[in-house]
Structures are given as C-alpha cells and as structure tokens.
Structure 1
Amino acid sequence: MFTRHHALRAVIVTGLATGAGLLLAPTASSVPVPDRSAEHALAALVSGPPAAADLALPRDFGRRFGYRPTLTQGLLGDPSGSCSSPVPLPAEFTAACRQHDLGYDLLRYAGRSGRALPPDARRSVDTQLGAAFEDACSSREEPLSLASCLAWADIAEGFVRVNSARQDHAVPESETVRSIAPGVGLGLAAAGGVVLAVPALRRRVGGVR
C-alpha cells in the first residue's frame, strides 16, 4: 500500500538524486570561458590594422605586463621584445618577433586570468609570425640574399611551431634551460643547414640555376 510515508520518501530520494545530478553534471560555469578582451585584441593583432589591435588591448594590459605596445616597421609589438633564438636571425625579423611577443603576452594575459584562449589562438600567432618573416625578407632584392633570408624564415617559423606543438599549444609560460635544450640543438643544426639550403632556395626565387 502506497502511504504518505512512501510518497515523502519518494520525494526525498528524487530530490537527492536530482541534486546530485546537478552537482556532477557539467554546467556552463564549469567550462572555462576565454578572456574576451584578450581574445578580441589577439584577433585584431593577427588580422586587423595595428591601430585596431592597440585600441582592443585590455585596459590593464600595460600595468600587468609593464609596457605599452609600440609600432616597429608598421607592426605593433613589445618595444623591448626580440627574437628568442640560439643563433642570430636576420635583423629584418625584429619587428615580426616583437609582434609575436605581444601575441604571446596576450595569451599569457588570458591564461593568468584563469580564462585561457583555445589552442587555435596560439596557432594563429605563430602563423602570423611566419607571414611577417616572409614579408620582411621581401625587402631584399639580391637573389642569394633573399634566398638566405627565406631559409632563416622557414627555420625560425619551424622552430616556433615545433615548440608550440611540444607545449600542446597551451599558454606559453617560462621554461627551464633543460626544457629548451632540444630546441637549442635543433636551432644550431639548422644554422648549418642554411648553408646547404641556400642554393635550392635561390632557385625558388628565380636566381641562378
């Protein structure tokens, strides 16, 4: 016989089960929401004019990272940034590297806020770096010099992409000497490879065959 006691028990059991389900089930708040201000600034940096990226920067970006982005050869970036490489890269790459540094700082901004951007955000910054390297090389008119610059562009972009993949395209935080040692070895080996690659790349840009 179904009594009032049974009805009350059914209500309690159902309520507890429902409550447990709500606690265990994924909710919108349990899924990290990307930092929208950093996301918009990064999108402007990789696809829009420098002025748009500058205007889109989070208001507290300068206070948190200690600098205000400036233009270098028409590219917005970290004014004190540089190309982090175990071997010297062409001087023309400085502006592209500074822009890349700013992009990574925007990724760090979002990550340190607990609202990291998705992996594709870091991929877009790396892709922009490769394009900026090639644009920088285009200022060279002599075929052999241009071929050499393009060789360094390919190697530097490849190194950056390998490093990003090694970190699962997560927030690019600081690393130890041990963690970057394989990359340093790769960079030194690549430096020697440039000498061998230049003749083929010279043919690529229409030089002497």
Structure 2
Amino acid sequence: MKRCLMSSLGMMALLTGAVPALGVNPAQAARSTSATASLSAATPQAPIEALYNALDKSEHSTAGVGKRSAMIAPLVDRAFDMEAILKRSIGLHYEHLSSSERSSLITAFRHFTVARYVSTFKPGTDAVFTVVNTIQQDGRTIVHTTIGGKDDPNGTPTPIDYVMAQGPDGWRITDILLDGHISQVAAQRADFKTIFNEKGANGLARSLTTKADDFLRE
C-alpha cells in the first residue's frame, strides 16, 4: 500500500483535470462549491473527511470509472485550491498566462487529480482512511491523516498530511506532505516547469490530460 500511495500521491502536486471528460461544467462546479462551502469546508478537517468518504465509497463500488469519477470529482473541487497549487508549481510564469491558458491548465489539472484518485483507489483496494488531528506548525494549519490497508508491511499506515488555507469558500488544501515532511508541490515543481518551458501552458495541459486519460483506462 505504501509504495502505491507514494507513487500515486507523488503526483498530487499536479492535481486537476478535464471537466468535460467528467461531464461537469466549470461554472456549475464553482457554484456548487461555493454553495456547499459552509458544509464541506467549515473546519480544516471537513473537506478531507468528505474526500476520504468519497474514496472509501469508490473503492467499495462496482461502478465503472465514469461513475466513480463523478462520485469523487465534487469532493476534489471542494477540497483543493487548484489555482494556489498551480501558481506555486509554475511560479512567476503563471501571472503572465492569459485567462484561457489558466482555464485550460486548471481544467486539465483537475482531470488529472480526479483520475489519479479513481485509478489508485479502485474497487478492491481496501484502503483505510483516518483523519487524525489538526495542528499549527510553522505558521501553517496541517491536518494529519493516515491511509493504510491489509497489504501494509507490519500493518503500518502511510502518513499523509495536508497543508490547509482558509479562503472565501472555506478551508482548502494547498499542499500534501508525504511521511509528514515531503512537499509534493516542491517535489513536482521541477518536472512541472520542464514541461511548461518546453511546451508552454497548453502543452502542459495536454500532457496532464493524456496522463489522466491513461489512468482512467480499465
């Protein structure tokens, strides 16, 4: 389980995806997110608990990838601050992107995130999700969680921590820490920038979409 999680969540700094592929309109998703913020993100732990509940349902579902994607996508929308992650991953170049380039990147980024979750926590995975507590550390709000399973060596779950920030729509994830300290935004920044520098924003969006589509093939 730990190897699977480290491989899968190691890409989580590239979190998002193609809304059309999931049958969700971006504007509708934004309205839905805002309307449910008080319910889903009132505390730092709330959006993560909701996401974990969706992942648990997905891995115990008999539905295909389309329905499992639709099950997980709204909770990804509520849990992650996609644009904040993109800004940190791309750096100063993000500020010079056109509105259409930003939109394409966010769409592809979301598709990638949802697809990665659907692929990792597929039916029969038998992962166990636990939200432990919330702490203040170095000026950051961090939610400690673990993800374990029956194939964990010595039964030891993998610690997955979330750096949270509070905005108009409630608490959102801005980074994921593996083993309590490995920042996925930082770990992915080099690869992210390499693709961006070689192929531009649209090329990065296409790369993320292609990877996401590969994850969703069963």
TM-score (norm 2): 0.31
Tell me which protein shows more helix as a share of its residues: 1
Higher relative contact order (CA 8 A, sep 6+): 2
Larger radius of gyration: 1
Tell me which protein shows more strand as a share of its residues: 2
TM-score (norm 1): 0.31
